[in-house]
Chain A
Amino acid sequence: MSDRKTVFIVDDDDFVRTMISKLVASFGYDTKGARDGMQAIEMLSASSPPDVLITDIVMPRKGGLETVSELRAKYPALKIIAVSGGGRSEQGDYLELARKSGADEIISKPIDPSQLKEVLKQLMGKQ
């Protein structure tokens, strides 16, 4: 049985999701992906949870903030990274809100690959 860690990537932009998957694979992790929070939650309940989940905030159907709260309640051990290209709602900055909703780390877009590598390494080490 492989002991490779798995990273689950949720982003509605196909280019971004594919790019993050490739990056994460180049760091030596297995990857899975979903287009929005709804699809992610469905896929997660059908298989064993990943080690880390990377999610965008602004997505159709189910956005990142809601997804983070739901997953945090359901999978307390799951490490979550929220990424966003900026923007804010009435309640405040998206990334700060994501942290409040239960994200372990936040990364703003454009994603710096070295930063992502470092954050993933740290989160995997904590487990």
Chain B
Amino acid sequence: MRRHLAKAFPDGDVNIRTAGTGVEGLQLINSRSFGCVFLDYLLPDMNGLDLLRSIYDAKTDLASVPVVMLTGKGSESVMLEALRWGAQDYIVKDNISFHSLKIALTKAKEVFELKRNRAMAEEKLQQAQKMEAVGQLTSGVAHDFNNLLSVVLGNVYLMQEQITAPPGKMDTNALAEELTAIETVARNGAELVRRLMLFSRQRQLASQTANVNDCIRDAATLLKASLGATIEVAMILAEGLPSISLDVSEFANVLINMSVNARDAMPGGGKLTFETGSIVLDEFYAAQHPEVKAGEYVMVAVSDTGTGIDREVAHRIFEPFFTTKPPGKGTGLGLAMVYGFVRQSGGHVDVYSEPGHGTVFRLYLPKAGEPDRTEAAPVLPEPVQPGSIILVAENDDEVRGTAVTMLEKLGYRTLQAKDGKVALDLVKREQAAIDLIFTDICMGGFDGVELVREARALLPALPAVFTSGYTEHTVRANKIAPDDDFIGKPYHQEALARKIHVALGKRKRENV
């Protein structure tokens, strides 16, 4: 090996150091900087992959130095693992020649440099995005601070009046009150600074376990003044959420970015709602969204009552530099940053929008800790009447397809309609054959609520389950009655089974 290297670089500008064991190698790597490390897989005290893992940095996806792995013939899995853990290249030991070494060394150094530069540029971009988001807060925070200072100056003025009063006229109770007021607002000011620091903090090395609700409360407090008085901020935060691991500062900036977008979508004012909940994304959902792993997630929904986004735009909304705002108004980086954050957290983001009504962004952040793989498959309730016929009305072909698959696996039969009108025609034609309507609420024009109303004019006891991309809170406030059955998208099979089961059961009771 040494001989080959000397031959590859005969003029002596390459300084070669060798280590006979993994421990020795690690000590050398940590003690000085190397242009490249040729790392054998078979070491007396550990294997090369273990050594590689111990110098791997996940943030840059690189080891601390350029690495070329040396493996035996037929060790494809080792080669792949080496590349996965930050090596730039590998050489099969039988093929070592001064040529192959020279090429591998040059290439490894080049690839390493390119990748490291990209990681540094990305970090700078992230910091710039963060500062842009903080900039959005400046006027709001200044407003809050000026209020605090007004209270301090006002009370100081009153106290000065008191102490220059003639002896015996000084009102010590009033003085005490004024002091308390100053102390309180000073503490509020400190809290404001604490929140602001949360947003502007430099990147953290590691994620931490965090309470999503606390993050949202902090962000909402800071945002209130920046969003302007015409925007009402509401929070519907579920208690007892599982803890999740995230970078709190990044998450805070994600919340600002989404809120600023929401604000810009509501030029005439409106309502911004933060909602949290636990949710299971099941294998049906994962099958539709290849980047999603089935499992338990914490859902954070940010909804507005703004102009909405049409389908064309919704598909591109997370692309970097994509913006619908006029030049100078937006960089198009805000939602790309949201997407980046969610992917880094192992999560998923989706957007649901109805032009003219509003938009909901949902972030799904994975529950902390290793998923429990031994968990038994959920026991699905037996359908009340196997073979019951369910009419599925849904304008999104993919979503309708999934719903139908789920229902058929549960033992139901289905009829499908791509909008409210088609569904109503089916109801008129099939009449008593239909046992339940499962309908989306917004289907453009003739909606699910109208569908159910008209269907029940024909079949008064017909059970119905509503679904929507909007959050349950929004739908219940605007569209459906408190005793209507509703399941929010995305739903998983077990939850759908339970809903349908309950709704069918209602009719059974009514018929008795």
Q: Which A residues have a C-beta under 8 Å from some C-beta of B?
A: 13, 15-16, 18-20, 22-23, 26, 58-61, 63, 84-89, 108-114
Contacts and interface: CB of A to CB of B under 8 A. Distances in A.
A112 B153 CA distance: 7
Interface in B137-159: 139-140, 142-155, 157-158
A111 B158 contact: no
B372 interface: no
Interface of B: 139-140, 142-155, 157-158, 161, 181, 184-185, 225, 228-230, 232
B225 A110 contact: no
A19 B151 contact: yes
Contacts of A87: 139-140, 142-143
A26 B157 CA distance: 10
Contact of A23 (B140, B157, B185, B232): B157
Given A87-B139, A87-B143, A23 B154 contact: yes
Contacts of A88: 139
Contact of A111 (B153, B181, B184, B232): B153
A18, A26, A89, A109, most chain B CB atoms within 10 A? A109
B139 A110 contact: no
A19 B140 CA distance: 21
Given A85-B142, A110-B148, 13 more contacts: A15-B185, A16-B151, A22-B154, A22-B155, A23-B154, A26-B158, A84-B143, A85-B144, A87-B143, A109-B143, A110-B149, A111-B154, A113-B154
A60 B184 CA distance: 23
A4 B154 CA distance: 22
B158 A85 contact: no
A19 B229 contact: no
Contact of A19 (B143, B150, B161): B150
Given A15-B185, A19-B181, A63-B230, A86 B154 contact: no
Contacts of B139: 86-88
A19 B149 contact: no
A15 B151 contact: yes
Nearest to A114: B157
Given A110-B150, A111-B154, A114-B157, A85 B229 contact: no
Contacts of B148: 15, 110
A20 B147 contact: no
A59 B224 CA distance: 10
Contact of B149 (A20, A60, A109): A109
Contacts of A18: 181
B229 A60 contact: yes
A58 B150 CA distance: 15
B153 A85 contact: no
A15 B155 CA distance: 11
B139, B150, B161, B185, most chain A CB atoms within 10 A? B150
B336 to A, nearest CB: 25
17 contacts: A13-B147, A15-B147, A15-B184, A16-B151, A19-B155, A20-B150, A22-B155, A26-B158, A63-B229, A85-B143, A85-B144, A85-B145, A85-B147, A86-B139, A87-B143, A109-B143, A110-B147
Given A111-B153, A114-B157, A59 B142 contact: no
B143 A111 contact: no
A89 B143 CA distance: 13
Given A15-B185, A109-B147, A114-B157, A86 B228 contact: no
B165 to A, nearest CB: 11
- Which 4 pairs, one residue from A and one from B, show the smallest C-beta to C-beta distance? A85-B146, A110-B149, A113-B157, A109-B146
A111 B225 contact: no
B465 to A, nearest CB: 37
Contacts of A111: 150, 153-154
Contacts of B225: 58
A34 to B, nearest CB: 14
A48 to B, nearest CB: 27
Contacts of A110: 146-150, 152-153
A13 B224 CA distance: 12
Contacts of B152: 110
B148, B154, B161, B181, most chain A CB atoms within 10 A? B154
Contact of B232 (A19, A60, A89, A114): A60
A73 to B, nearest CB: 21
B268 to A, nearest CB: 12
Contacts of A61: 229
Nearest to B233: A60
A15 B228 CA distance: 19
Nearest to A113: B157
B302 to A, nearest CB: 20
A111 B185 CA distance: 15
A86 B150 contact: no
Contacts of A114: 157
B150 to A, nearest CB: 4
A111 B225 CA distance: 18
A75 B150 CA distance: 28
A111 B157 CA distance: 11
Contacts of A85: 142-147, 150
A86 B151 contact: no
Contacts of A26: 158, 161
Nearest to B184: A15
A14 B182 CA distance: 14
A86 B147 contact: no
A72 B486 CA distance: 49
B159 to A, nearest CB: 11
A89 B158 CA distance: 34
